[in-house]
Amino acid sequence: MLALAIAAPAVGGQEAASEVQKLVYGETIAGALTPTDNTFADGSYFKPYVLEGTEGDEVTIFLASEDFDPTLLLLNSDESETVLATDGNSDGMCNARLTFTLPETGSFIVVANASEASERGQFQLMLAQGHQGPRSEEGCQGFTGIKGTLSVGDSIMGSLSSDDRQMGESYFQVWLLDNPGSVPYTIDLNSDVFDAALMLVRGIREVLILNDDSGDGGCHARIPHTPQDERPYRLVAISRTAGQGGSFLLKASEGLNPLIGGNTCQIGGP
């Protein structure tokens, strides 16, 4: 039981039924998952909506986002809140789409959900009548598989290994960056055991900056940046040395620290 409490007064911070928006066929809702939204047990944010339909109606629901990996859920609105259908990638580009025939006349719950803990950002949700084309087979194309969250002022000791994902022959990890809005910051990725490279990604796939060897030290990476909006960002920590990992320090500092030019990367050197 997901305990969304849609049909009851607000309990434990949940929304009362009168506050839950209803879906209308053909209309697109522009919404956002934010840190003030409810979360499931896995730490993922969600927003509930109400779908009213008739027994035998075939409906298709779309959930799209450039900021996070979307997941759709369709539930009964009774106390059991049984999950009737769920989808993650059927609409391509990480977007979700599910088609379902309503088993009875009445209200149902549509849940717009992020696939991973702490993911947030803008989304578009739409309800359509009937079946809307074949399932996409491309899967999710983006920087998913989040390792953790980094805020400005944080320093994290981590390690890359063969347990991590690979980009070509290079190991990498994805970290969420808690975007401070218009406040300038500098991200550093330092390692003495591999050639560190760093990507700043807006949303789930838009690579803004790639840096290699411009931090404090020959093989360290640095990205100074002043965000122009409050969209979520991701950091991709990469070992440019094929098949090699090891320990690293990932940190976010206030202010714009300068890039260091002319560095010569030499792992294991002085």
Domain positions in the chain:
17-129, 146-254
b (16+ CB within 10 A) / e for 150-179:
bebeeeeebebeeebeeeeebbbbbbbbbb
The whole-model pTM stands at: 0.85
What the block records as the tokens of 251 is 């940190």
Class of the CATH domain delimited by 17-129 = mainly beta
25 DSSP 8-state letter = B
Q: Give me the architecture of the 146-254 domain, per CATH.
A: Sandwich (2.60)
Is 17-129's fold the same as 146-254's? yes
**pLDDT (tens digit, 0 to 9) for every residue of the chain, 270 residues total?**
455 544 332 323 344 445 789 999 999 999 999 999 999 999 999 999 999 999 999 999 999 999 999 999 999 988 778 899 999 988 788 999 999 999 999 999 999 999 999 999 999 999 999 877 766 667 788 899 999 999 999 999 999 999 999 999 999 999 999 887 889 999 999 999 999 999 999 999 999 999 998 998 789 999 999 998 888 999 999 999 888 899 999 999 999 999 998 777 877 543
